[in-house]
Chain A
Amino acid sequence: MRSYQSGVNRALGLGSAKNGFIAWWRQRVSAVLLIPLLAWLGIGLALQAGADFESARAWVGSPINSVLMIATLAVLLFHTAVGLQVIIEDYVETEGLKAASIVLTHFVCFLLTIAGSLAVVRIALGS
């Protein structure tokens, strides 16, 4: 990945003191990916309003939709984790509590990604 720091700043060691850039970059990349994914999800879910069990399963379980749903879950919850981390970093002052909250946030988002993805796989396989 190319650096967004100018050559002079890199030489002088300026810029983020820690790992600020990568978090900023991940948030942007996931945001860009979410534009088409959420457009699909928003319209897709709206069309499922009031759908019965069978038709909702047929929609989620279709080959294209199941792949898009898992991709959306992964990127959405990654974006959520990165965003919540920024909020935690801004408002939690104690270092230990801050680190613990960030790890917990990422872990919960990771668990939700796995749980949601497995649900989609079960629906797609009809089990």
Chain B
Amino acid sequence: MHNDNRPLSPHLFIYRPQLTAMLSIIHRGTGAALSGGALLLVIWLLALAASPEAYALTMELLGHWLGLLVLLGITWMGAYHFCNGIRHLVWDTGRCLELSAVYRGGWLVIVMSMILTGLLWGIAFAAMEGS
């Protein structure tokens, strides 16, 4: 039964943003956005299977600064979802569930996502230098 005349429980927006909640929201957000990354992988494979021209066009679009920005976004989101996913798997075993461990893991995921992004782009730049 709906009744407007009821006290509201505290809304999400009343709370000061907390690391734990933010990371959880980002995990879902990156997961949804990474669907686009999976789509892009399929498009890249289709272009590679189609013709040298289709592949060249795809690589040209990805090489544009906007394309590079999208790739950088996918790399970081992928790295984050990867690291935080492992954090979730650790939790599923019943470990690291104390509040201090949850925060430590959260900061570790943030740092690791950036390190992994840097590593992958380092490999990519080194590969481009070499080719």
Contacts and interface: CB of A to CB of B under 8 A. Distances in A.
B127 A48 contact: yes
- Place the interface of chain A in its size category: 35 or more
A31 to B, nearest CB: 5
Given A38-B82, A80-B34, A49 B125 contact: yes
Contacts of B86: 35
Nearest to B75: A42
Interface in B52-95: 52, 55-56, 59, 63, 75, 78, 82, 85-86, 88-89, 92
B38 A42 contact: no
B35 A80 contact: yes
Q: Interface residues of B: mostly helix, strand, loop or mixed?
A: helix
A112 B39 contact: yes
B22 interface: no
Interface of B: 28, 31-32, 34-35, 38-39, 41-42, 45-46, 48-49, 52, 55-56, 59, 63, 75, 78, 82, 85-86, 88-89, 92, 116, 120-121, 123-125, 127-128, 131
14 contacts: A31-B88, A35-B82, A47-B124, A51-B127, A53-B55, A56-B55, A57-B48, A69-B45, A73-B41, A73-B45, A116-B41, A116-B45, A119-B42, A119-B45
